[in-house]
Amino acid sequence: MPDTVANRARNAKEPRVGRVRRDSDDGSAGGRQTGSKVQPLAAVGVKHAPMRAISAEEIVLGTVRTMLLNGDIAPGDRIDQRAMAELVGCSVVPVREALQTLSAEGQIIHRPQRGYFAAELDIAELNETYRIREIIEEEAVRAAVARIGQAELDNMRSLDLEIRSFSAAGDLIRMLDANRRLHFALYDASAMPRLVNLIRIMWDLTERYRANYYHETANRERVNSEHSQILKALEDKDVERVLILLREHRDHTIADFEGHLSEK
């Protein structure tokens, strides 16, 4: 077996044990549940939904996203579909479907006759994507600041506390999830769902860059400080101040990545 994700998948610490719906060999949904397979932490959008059966494809999506973020699958690594199916406890069919979804998001790359590989980190991609984010997020933020109320601010304060707790514990996966919920609580307040969907696509493309940024304690502390300033500006309804702070918030991720590249 090649020394890629196959071996890492065997040795990686599983994110969480839970109950999952297992697929039959032909890829159709099975009826039984098993209590010893991977439960993704924050990756499939069901963490706050009513309890329901989770499909094998969703479990694979969550598992691969978590492994991409915590470094178990490094940029450029080939993803062994059979090893991933063994890790999750399903057939190869839902693994293939999940990888196709991640490929469409830009998280991984499909190379004909070779398979799926984790996307490389690229400064040109980061700069372009963050520039697009700046343009479209400004529209959402301007609309949101005018509409945001105390309930939304209280929710964002609560999420800020979650981020600080996970940051202090070094729990990067949960910190990333709470950070995402904080920012989208702001964007959702714009009441512009189609625009927010576009923002979400840009965030999906760059989540691995944020994960890389959060690995350093000093960066996590900077994020916490910046969030406090952003929340204060939101309370003051100072939209221009909010936009400046968000721009600096994004720019620090780019500068950090550029710094790492120059060291190499």
pLDDT in tens, 227-245: 999 999 999 999 999 999 9
Return the percentage of the chain with pLDDT > 90, whole number.
60
**Amino acid at position 87, single letter:** L
pLDDT at 15 over 90: no
141 close to 187: Cβ distance less than 8 angstroms: yes
- pLDDT score recorded for residue 68: 87
- pLDDT score recorded for residue 32: 30
Q: Which residues pair with 111 in a beta bridge?
A: 115
Would you kindly state where each structural domain of the chain is located, as residue ranges? 5-118, 123-263
156 close to 185: Cβ distance less than 8 angstroms: yes
CATH topology assigned to domain 5-118:
Arc Repressor Mutant, subunit A (1.10.10)
pTM > 0.85: no
23, exposed or middle or buried, with CB in 10 Å at 0-12, 13-18, 19+?
A: buried
- Alpha helices of 89-192 — where are they, by DSSP H? 92-105, 123-147, 150-169, 172-188
- pLDDT score recorded for residue 121: 86
Q: Which residues pair with 78 in a beta bridge?
A: 117
Q: Calculate mean pLDDT across residues 55-61.
A: 90
CA atoms within 13 A on the CB side of 141: 24
pLDDT at 1 over 70: no
- pLDDT score recorded for residue 19: 28
For the stretch 21-39, pLDDT in tens is 333 333 333 333 333 334 3
pLDDT at 145 over 60: yes
CATH superfamily of domain region 123-263: GntR ligand-binding domain-like (1.20.120.530)
- How much of the chain is in helix, strand and coil states, percent to nearest 5? 65, 10, 25
Q: Do domains 5-118 and 123-263 have the same CATH topology?
A: no
